[in-house]
Amino acid sequence: MTMIYLDNAATTRPDSDAVREALYYLEDGFYNPSALYKESFAVHRALEAARKNIISQIADPQKFTLLFTSCGSEADNQALFSCARRGNFVTTEGEHAAIYNAALEIARRGVEVRYAKLDPYGCADEADLLQLVDENTSLVSVIHVGNETGAVNDIANIAKKVKAKNPRAYFHSDGVQAFGKIPFRLTNDIDFYSVSAHKIGGVRGAGALFRNKNKNLFPLIYGGGQEGGLRSGTENTFAIMQFAAATKKKFAALSEDLSRVGILNRRFRQGLDEKIFTVLSGECASPYILSVSAKGLRGEVLQHMIDDCGVVVGTGSACSSKNRYSRVILACGADERTADGVLRISFSSQTTEQECEEAIRVINDCGNRLAERTK
């Protein structure tokens, strides 16, 4: 039985072309980029070229730079612990665990944390967020694309309004589920932006934090002074180079992939049995993520049934899989019976129509069988 993989918001299959392109830096170009001999300097130059190429996809290299990290969570943490050091920190109830749990630690350290509400589809309530911002706000962080419902926040517009209210406040966004999937450019009002390699066909072990060159940042990891002194530790050259290759490939096909994945998303919305499943993601959500609920059924049980039939889907964020009820889905206004039945279906550019047709059949069949058993 061939497995159909539809949990791409958790991680994606590494792009084989990008792996082959970067393999040299795993096998032959293994030199430490910080060493002084010519072989190492060649690797250093390749890393700098990769950095510029990634920046250019979404930002002006004259205004933004980026530092490589181990993952999106590290990039999120560095931005938060660097900037939310005084006054209050404003974020939303729809953030990834890397932001939400870091915020809990920031509160423990004495900084007030304020959470903006969500609309029923998972978007930040803009009016509620802006009324939380005042002259003492040190940082605002708003996720770009929600990792559970795919809700898209207009971070450029939100950042502009935040800066109008408090020009000294930093603005950060977790862009892990947006980068390489939806078209956008970083504006001058966005100070920091986190991305991750393994969500777009990269290998695990590489992420990045975009930084407006006019904004200061403090290290999270201290040591040998790599990444301009902002992220010490010997660079993961292979993962970074593979990330750069995967990024180039993703952005070259971004519009085409977005259109095709949108068709697959709509097919699921139309094909899932309405007697069992309710769609939670809004029509304007990223087409790469579709959240549904089999209300009254256990999503985890249904997930295992579907898996046994050769289809892999999620039950929400993989980083929050130990919790029965998703705090994000509850924050959207769902009751516990709805939150208990959540499945997250997420696509990649490699997902085919044939796979989707078979997955819809399997999910409907499993949903109906579980509903019969629970009557």
Buried b (16+ CB within 10 A) or exposed e, 24-45: ebeeebebbbeeeeeebeebbe
Q: Which neighbouring-strand residues pair with 69?
A: 207
The per-residue pLDDT for range 265-299, each reduced to its tens digit, is 999 999 999 999 999 999 999 999 999 999 999 99
SS3 assignment, position 211: strand
The pairing of strands 207-212 and 64-69 is antiparallel
pLDDT band at 324 (very low <50, low <70, confident <90, very high): confident
In the chain, the number of structural domains is 2
The domain that contains 357 carries what CATH number? 3.90.1150.10
Claim to verify: residue 101 and residue 198 sit in the same structural domain: yes
Claim to verify: residue 360 and residue 217 sit in the same structural domain: no
Claim to verify: residue 176 and residue 312 sit in the same structural domain: no
Listed residues 233, 251, 269: the one ending a domain = 251
pLDDT band at 374 (very low <50, low <70, confident <90, very high): confident
Looking at residue 93, its pLDDT comes to: 98
C-alpha torsion sign, points 156, 162, 167, 173: negative
Which residues lie below 8 Å from residue 76, measured CB to CB, with a gap of 6+?
96, 98, 99, 102, 141, 172, 174, 194
Claim to verify: residue 21 and residue 8 sit in the same structural domain: no
The domain that contains 134 carries what CATH number? 3.40.640.10
Looking at residue 149, its pLDDT comes to: 98
Name the H helices within the chain: 16-22, 24-27, 38-58, 72-83, 97-108, 126-132, 155-165, 237-252, 254-271, 299-308, 327-331, 336-340, 353-373
Taking the CB of residue 295, how many other CB atoms lie within 10 A of it? 17
Q: How far apart are CA 7 and CA 164, in angstroms?
A: 39
pTM over 0.85: yes
Q: How far apart are CA 349 and CA 332, in angstroms?
A: 28
Q: Which residues constitute the domain of residue 135?
A: 16-251
Catalytic residues: 319
pLDDT band at 46 (very low <50, low <70, confident <90, very high): very high
Listed residues 232, 251, 270: the one ending a domain = 251
C-alpha torsion sign, points 134, 139, 142, 147: negative
Listed residues 199, 224, 251: the one ending a domain = 251
The per-residue pLDDT for range 87-144, each reduced to its tens digit, is 999 999 999 999 999 999 999 999 999 999 999 999 999 999 999 999 999 999 999 9
